[in-house]
Chain A
Amino acid sequence: MELTGAQIMIKCLEKEGAEYVFGLPGGAILPTFDALYDSKLKFILVRHEQGATHMADGFARATGRTGVCLVTSGPGATNTVTGLATAYMDSVPIVCITGQVATHAIGSDAFQEADVMGITRPVTKHNFLIRDVKEIASTVRKAFYIANTGRPGPVLIDFPVDVSRAKTEFIWPENVHIRSYNPKPVQTGSSYTADQIRKAAATINASKRPVLYVGGGAVVSGAEKELFEFVEKTGIPITTTVLGLGIFPETHPSSLRMLGMHGTHYANYSVQGSDVLIAIGARFDDRVTGKIDKFAPHAKIVHIDIDPASISKVVRVDHPIVGDIKPALRDLLKEVKNLRPQIKDWTKQIQEWKEKHPLKFKQQGSEIRQEYVIQQVGEITKHQAVVTTGVGQHQMWTAQWYGFSSPRSMITSGGLGTMGYGFPAAIGAKLGRPKETVVCFDGDGSFQMTMCELVTASYYKIPVKLIVMDNGHHGMVRQWQQLFYRERYAASELGKSNPDFTGIAQACGVFSMSIQKNDEVIPAIKKILAHDGPALLHVKVARTDNVYPMVPAGHALDQVMDMA
């Protein structure tokens, strides 16, 4: 039986195991929505396409499965660009299907036409334009395959409306093979060698001051068990990037918590003092390394990563191991020894740093500090919630104070730093892990970028818990202006123009409450967590707090600023 291209597209999504599709209809994608009408796929209608991509992204990060978006041509497609770029920077698997004008009209500046292939090339792992109805099934198959293998990333399919109306026999390709794409170099045995593992292990075994530096790649690989065993066996202290949070329990004595611009003193000092730095699924981002030529100046660097292009991109690597982290760590684990006796002085030194420079904040009067709210949510949820964030001060404080204990529990835009990411990502995460508590910490500035999705959470009754920290500023911008721009606060104050957040939530059908005194924090958290449905807690917090510790941009990691 012949099916339309649109019907084939929907059948392919079903076959790929998609559960939710996030999006918004429009002219060029209407045939596909018509086919969706007959499908069991659960569709989430967003208020803005950026929200759809962040929801798909949150779903993917929370579950490891590929998130799916379906939007129309032109403005629908261009609205996904921020979400695609966010996913691309943080290696998140998304398949985004955009409607396109009919093939004969492409290039004619037709209504709602945009050069989506050109626009999205730099923000996707790959993109496709389908020009023949017979190519749909194989293209979708390839798209999902590319998105969630190797180093994952977003893949876009541009789907012209005439192709979606054309008819053909539906043939599902059971297998995918792309001769120019070989995502699993490890399993072919053609990538890292036993010799490379042995050499890396010898360097580690000879070290006096080793440190593990672990990023989001370890989360993607699902290597938490191997990593834990590695630390238990060797006794090597471990720090994570913001995307690596949760891969290793922060309550463990070997944990140095997060490193980088707002990392702990002891993580940064340890990296700077290390003689061997073992980077795992991390990419030496400038927010992590500080001034690059002063980064870990004495260290030999071992780098495990699935993406060969990450190796020696920023920092010259001594021992590259290209491959999937999980098996690579397992191989390395066999070769390394217990280093505790030989690194005793090192761990003692680190312990001293830990005692001398703990993370801290000052409680004053009844004013609410963001750190306190985050810490209390951590306690009340027993550090087990799935947490998402926007971008800015609240994001860094969440990284510092929540106390992450399991992988895929910190969902945040690390690479692109996309304000407005947290709330829609929380909706996607909650759909992916419905039994778990999902909390979004957001800032007043960040939240306003995607708050239209309150309606989405309300309409579909998605019980996410949203905590909006209202300091009346773009707080991180204000902090930089105070510290580096002679207190000239250009366009960073929101206080006078902020809306009534609880009123907006109520108008959208979302339960909400507002607090401004410290003793209200715990009861309010408990109340919104207990509420059956989506809920927003508006917290009036101290207006001019800064995030510390802080390594100013362009400084070496050990040049740390801290509060007096």
Chain B
Amino acid sequence: MKHTISVLVENHFGVLNHVSGLFSARGFNIDSLAVGETEDPTVSRMTIVATGDDRIVEQILKQLNKLIDVITVEDVTGDDMIDRELMLLKVSADQATRNDVMQVVNTFRAKVLNVSPDTLTLEVTGSESKVDAMLELLRPFGIRETVRTGVIALSRNRELKMPPSGIAAEGPVRKSASKKTASSSRKKAVSKAD
């Protein structure tokens, strides 16, 4: 089944390479991946939609967690969440069909961005299924071009935990000699393996 995974990552060079490389190396399928900066400019949020059974998704979460630049990973699929996707599309519409197309546009609360003699360029926002549905309804008119952002999602109630900043740091002490405890209280989501 489809899972929506929300990932906070360090916003720097090479992170996307690590994440996408992980998916190809482990043979996981990505349906969509959307990434952008968060309210904290040092952090980006990725929303990944991936398909797999529970075991595969568990591995995806664990392997993502292992990446050094990944701060937090959560599978938000079961959550009460808001998910949105934005699509731009150019559909054939001449004098004869324009009104019919506009009916669909109005039904889906889409926006008309551009009108030409034989096309309309539209913007629609909504859940993935809404965007799919609109696409299907417009298909008979002739879809010229589309572009989709991929799903982005936020949980209504839950917020992804960031580690508190300014934690007492810890040096690279040799394993056996180390008695110091890392005081980081952040718990990566998947370590509760039971």
Contacts and interface: CB of A to CB of B under 8 A. Distances in A.
Contacts, number: 116
Interface string A210-229: 00000000001110000000
B193 A312 contact: yes
Contacts of A312: 55, 58, 193
B68 interface: yes
Interface secondary structure of B, over-half rule: loop
B187 A190 contact: yes
A176 B21 contact: no
B69 interface: yes
A148 B172 contact: yes
A426 B17 CA distance: 35
B165 interface: yes
B188 interface: yes
Contact of B68 (A146, A190, A311): A146
B17 A118 contact: yes
Interface stretch (A23-31, A181-189, A268-276, A462-470): A181-189
Nearest to A145: B172
B21 A184 contact: no
B190 interface: yes
Interface in B146-194: 162-163, 165, 167-172, 174-176, 178, 181-188, 190-191, 193-194
Contacts of B18: 121
Contacts of A177: 167-170, 184
Given A117-B14, A122-B21, A191-B191, A64 B175 contact: yes
Contacts of B193: 308, 311-312, 317, 320, 322
A182 B188 contact: yes
B123 to A, nearest CB: 34
Q: Which of B14, B21, B58, B181 has the most CB of A within 10 A?
A: B14
A188 B185 contact: yes
A262 B160 CA distance: 47
Contacts of A64: 174-176
Nearest to B21: A121
A265 interface: no
B172 A16 contact: yes
Given A64-B176, A177-B169, A308 B190 contact: yes
B194 A188 contact: no
A64 B176 CA distance: 10
B127 interface: no
Contact of B172 (A122, A141, A316, A320): A141
B25 A148 contact: no
Contact of A313 (B59, B68, B69, B184): B59
Contact of A174 (B13, B59, B171, B185): B171
Interface in A169-203: 174-185, 187-188, 190-191, 193, 196
A116 to B, nearest CB: 11
Interface string A134-159: 00000001001110110000000000
Contacts of A180: 9-10, 68-71, 163
A126 interface: yes
Nearest to B183: A188
B66 interface: yes
A525 B178 CA distance: 41
Contacts of B66: 307-309
A543 interface: no
Contacts of B175: 64, 148-149, 220-222, 324
Nearest to B25: A122
B191 A322 contact: yes
B98 interface: no
A411 to B, nearest CB: 18
B63 interface: yes
Contact of A196 (B162, B168, B194): B194
Contacts of B17: 117-118, 121
Contacts of B178: 184
B84 interface: no
A131 interface: yes
B71 A309 contact: no
A179 B71 contact: yes
Contacts of A122: 21, 25
Given A117-B14, A125-B68, A148-B175, A175 B169 contact: yes
12 contacts: A117-B14, A118-B17, A122-B21, A126-B68, A177-B167, A177-B169, A179-B165, A308-B191, A309-B62, A311-B62, A316-B55, A322-B193
Interface of B: 9-10, 13-14, 17-18, 21, 25, 55, 58-59, 62-63, 65-66, 68-71, 162-163, 165, 167-172, 174-176, 178, 181-188, 190-191, 193-194
Given A180-B10, A309-B66, A311-B193, 18 more contacts: A117-B14, A121-B17, A121-B18, A129-B13, A145-B171, A176-B169, A179-B163, A184-B178, A185-B188, A185-B191, A190-B185, A193-B194, A221-B175, A308-B190, A309-B59, A309-B65, A313-B59, A322-B193
Closest 4 pairs (CB-CB, A-B): A175-B169, A177-B169, A309-B62, A145-B172
